[in-house]
Structure 1
Amino acid sequence: MTPVPPPAMLDITCLRRVRPWGGDPVDIAMDAGTITAIAPAGTAPIGVREFDGRGLLALPGIVNAHAHVDKSWWGLRWQSYGGEGSTEGRIRHERAEREALGIPSFERSAHVLREFVRHGTTAIRTHVDVDDGIGLRGIEAVEQAAAAYEGALDVRIVAFPQDGILRRPGVLDLLRDAAGRPSVDRIGGLDPATIDRDPVGQIDAITALAADTGVGIDIHLHDPAELGAFQIELLVDRAARLGLQGRINIAHGFAVAQLEPARRRDLLQAMSDVGVTMTTVAPLRLPQLPLAELDEAGVRFAFGTDGIRDLWSPYGTGDTLGIAWQYARAAGIVRDDDLLRVVQLATSAAAWSVGRDTHDLVEGARADIVLVDAENPQDALVRTPERALVVAGGRVLHVA
């Protein structure tokens, strides 16, 4: 199937009368996908294609730093959940049922990307399953779905061994093959202790592969408390020894929130020293990653939607701002400065997760802009209003 550009994907030269981060109204001019000027409202030169923002709040494009766009059944009829309650059980259920639902495929991935865009997402880091059953077909499907946006939507792929590495012969070779594709900038891992039952073996394998190929690592780590902390320490050690500073991300990392404060402080400092980052999907039934402690230690983190409407769970809307709301609410965050910080973590402060130095409403930045009808970023977070306009790389991808 030949990818078809989504409707309304039009170049734009100027957004007029918008309020970046809730400030005074301005005009934002852009060219070739880049913000070229920000001027008081009504003073920017008349452009060829303009959009009147009517005083709406402008935020940088929302960044989804942990997605699974290859897995969803969204767009099909409702699928009743039939899996088991454990990670292992869900893996088995998914492998048994996915082919009948066309997972993975261009159609399924394209539907998820459309939902992300509708919710203001302009940059995505997505884990894509690589295993002995589907090989690299999932990566190919996501590449095809992303290509329909002709570069406007920034999609970064993590080759993800959902069914383990060491216990499945050939998967490490598949990860090496995936690491050679331009769309893949990281390889993944999954609970080295409880899935492969060999934490040193799995971590040594993926860190050696990353060092050899030049890609980064984004590992799912659900294991709790000291078991999880031990594996994080292994990753910190390998980052220092193999030159992987700034190239390892811990997804979920429940252990960090479960440690005693002094132990957590020391672990976060060790992570910061080698640039290990974190992403969270803000699970409701578990303690949240501590915002102030992460910031104090200098550990960068960001939000993601995880899987949405898939064989693991029927939940999810594709709205990363909604995940940020969930995190703030579950963590008891109420003060304006902290609410603003949470919005930043869903937008500008997540630049690192998609390989950018800057992702903000400033001259020279990529023209990724979302407009919402809100008084300020805090209001946008607590109400998560409809996204009125989504611009990615200077192109309009969605208009409400």
Structure 2
Amino acid sequence: MVDKLSPVSAVRNVRPWGGELSDILIDGATISQVVAASGAPIGDGEIDGRGLLAIPGIVNTHAHIDKSWWGLPWQSYGGVRSTDGRIQHERAHRDELGIPSVEITSRVLAEFVKHGTTAIRSHVDVDLGLGQRGIEAVREAVAAYEGGIACEIVAFPQDGVLRRPGVLELLADAAKAGAEHIGGLDPAGIDKDPVGQIDAIFALAAEHGVGIDIHLHDGGSLGAFQFDLIIDRTQKLGLQGRVNIAHGFAIVDADDARRHDLLQQMGELGISMTTVAPLRMKQFGLHEFAEAGVRFGFGTDGIRDLWGPYGTGDTMGIAWQFARSSGVVYDDDLRRVVELATSLGAPFAGVEKNDLTPGSRADVVLVDSENTMDVLVRTLPREVTVGGGKLLYQR
């Protein structure tokens, strides 16, 4: 669990986005002013930024904070190397590791804030064996940060939806209990019924007024067909701006004309995407997505879990992976990637404004960096993390 958090009234002598030396003044959980550095002595509740570069809090748009083995002895990779194989392996071993638990989730959150993350959208498993226990553990671990971390929850049917009778009812219960989104998983690849799963979860979302965040690993024409279904149901049920597709490998598999058509429709309906920038896959097109008006964000996915041993909890590291794999080299594009990992990711976590400007949530991360591009290219350590006007981490 976290220690008692200290409120912060100002972060002084910093360079917002690499600009002029400034003082960021904070009122409660909100930035009230950004003014030229005064040079005044550092007072109680104030942080001396020592000329460090400041960026807004980093947003992890696709996490699984309920199911890591962080802090436990090393877990060797086992089971079948497929989506369903990973599901079965996890189900067979999670109980012996005490997953989910408040303690494990707290360790994951500590790694996140160490890397500058102040806002999260996390998928949390909801299934017949767990019920809502995972969501309860996540809420308790996040609450210990006293508003310092913004977190939205996706009630996630990791074991499938239609193939497990009773899961739809669990998703409905999670929505009624306050989960901001409900999830889905490979309607064709897992449930073998793309129309049935998509119709079911979209109907639930429309009924309960929540968002949808659906894992879609299926590639090729099968995956693209599921994009079509999602686009159609979003429009018909009036869910514009409330649907996200995670992974969505089919979008990069599609030929140029097909991808352009899908992205245009998604942009018009406010359907967003999240990526963990897998090295084995072609990456989302930075300019192509922007021109279509399709928002996307970066996420760590699971870290050190029963799906695999990798992951550090550093979302900026995922942004670096995306940029390097995409061949991003120009300054404007490098800055854009940092913005995607910070200010532009805010809506994914329910944050209205995440920037170093008055009225923004008081999420400030300090880095010993020459400029914004350097923050990304060298994935430099985070020196200080302030979230919701509270000091969460100091290196």
TM range (shorter): over 0.9
Residue deviations 1:179-227 (CA, integer Å, cap 9, x gap) = 0123x10000000001000000000000000000000000000110211
Query: 1:122 aligned to 118, 133, 150, which one?
Result: 118
Secondary structure at the counterpart of residue 256 of structure 1? helix
Aligned to 2:225: 230
Is residue 13 from structure 1 mapped to residue 13 from structure 2 by the alignment? no
Query: 1:341 aligned to 328, 336, 354, which one?
Result: 336
Opposite residue 358 of structure 1, the aligned amino acid is K
Query: 1:165 aligned to 151, 161, 164, which one?
Result: 161
Secondary structure at the counterpart of residue 383 of structure 2? strand
For the 8 Å contact 2:125–2:158, the answer to whether it is kept is yes
Aligned to 2:146: 150
Aligned to 1:332: 327
Secondary structure at the counterpart of residue 79 of structure 1? coil
Opposite residue 17 of structure 1, the aligned amino acid is N
The 5 A counterparts of 1:300-379 are: 300-379=295-374
Is residue 56 from structure 1 mapped to residue 52 from structure 2 by the alignment? yes
Q: Distance in 2 between matches of 1:229 and 1:45?
A: 59
Q: Distance in 2 between matches of 1:156 and 1:27?
A: 30
Q: Distance in 1 between matches of 2:34 and 2:112?
A: 27
For the 8 Å contact 1:129–1:160, the answer to whether it is kept is yes
Query: 1:94 aligned to 84, 90, 103, which one?
Result: 90
**How many pairs are equivalent?**
395
Is residue 399 from structure 1 mapped to residue 394 from structure 2 by the alignment? yes
TM-score with structure 2 setting the length: 0.98
Q: Distance in 1 between matches of 2:299 and 2:236?
A: 29
Aligned to 1:381: 376
Q: Distance in 1 between matches of 2:221 and 2:373?
A: 35
The 5 A counterparts of 1:178-327 are: 178-182=174-178, 184-327=179-322
Residue deviations 1:368-390 (CA, integer Å, cap 9, x gap) = 00000001111010111111000
Residue deviations 1:272-319 (CA, integer Å, cap 9, x gap) = 111100000000001111111000000000000000000000000000
Q: Distance in 2 between matches of 1:317 and 1:81?
A: 17
CA apart distance, 1:257: 0.8
Q: Distance in 2 between matches of 1:9 and 1:324?
A: 29
Task: Give the root-mean-square deviation of aligned CA atoms.
Answer: 1.2
Q: Distance in 1 between matches of 2:394 and 2:3?
A: 10
For the 8 Å contact 1:7–1:397, the answer to whether it is kept is no
Q: Distance in 1 between matches of 2:326 and 2:298?
A: 14
CA apart distance, 1:352: 1.4
Opposite residue 312 of structure 2, the aligned amino acid is T
TM-score with structure 1 setting the length: 0.97
Secondary structure at the counterpart of residue 218 of structure 1? strand
Opposite residue 81 of structure 2, the aligned amino acid is G
Q: Distance in 1 between matches of 2:359 and 2:300?
A: 28
Opposite residue 373 of structure 1, the aligned amino acid is D
Q: Evaluate the alpha carbon distance shift between residue 259 and residue 55 of structure 1 in structure 2; reply closer, same or farther with a 3 A threshold.
A: same
Secondary structure at the counterpart of residue 209 of structure 1? helix
What's the % identity of the aligned pairs?
64
Aligned to 2:385: 390
For the 8 Å contact 2:34–2:357, the answer to whether it is kept is yes
Q: Distance in 2 between matches of 1:102 and 1:356?
A: 31
Q: Distance in 2 between matches of 1:355 and 1:155?
A: 8
Secondary structure at the counterpart of residue 356 of structure 2? coil
CA apart distance, 1:71: 0.7
Q: Distance in 2 between matches of 1:169 and 1:42?
A: 63
Secondary structure at the counterpart of residue 364 of structure 1? coil
Opposite residue 10 of structure 1, the aligned amino acid is S
For the 8 Å contact 1:12–1:51, the answer to whether it is kept is yes
Q: Which runs of 5+ in 1 are unaligned?
A: none
Q: Distance in 2 between matches of 1:399 and 1:8?
A: 14
CA apart distance, 1:261: 0.8
CA apart distance, 1:43: 6.5
CA apart distance, 1:46: 7.1
Q: Evaluate the alpha carbon distance shift between residue 261 and residue 50 of structure 1 in structure 2; reply closer, same or farther with a 3 A threshold.
A: same
Q: Distance in 1 between matches of 2:310 and 2:80?
A: 16
CA apart distance, 1:172: 0.3
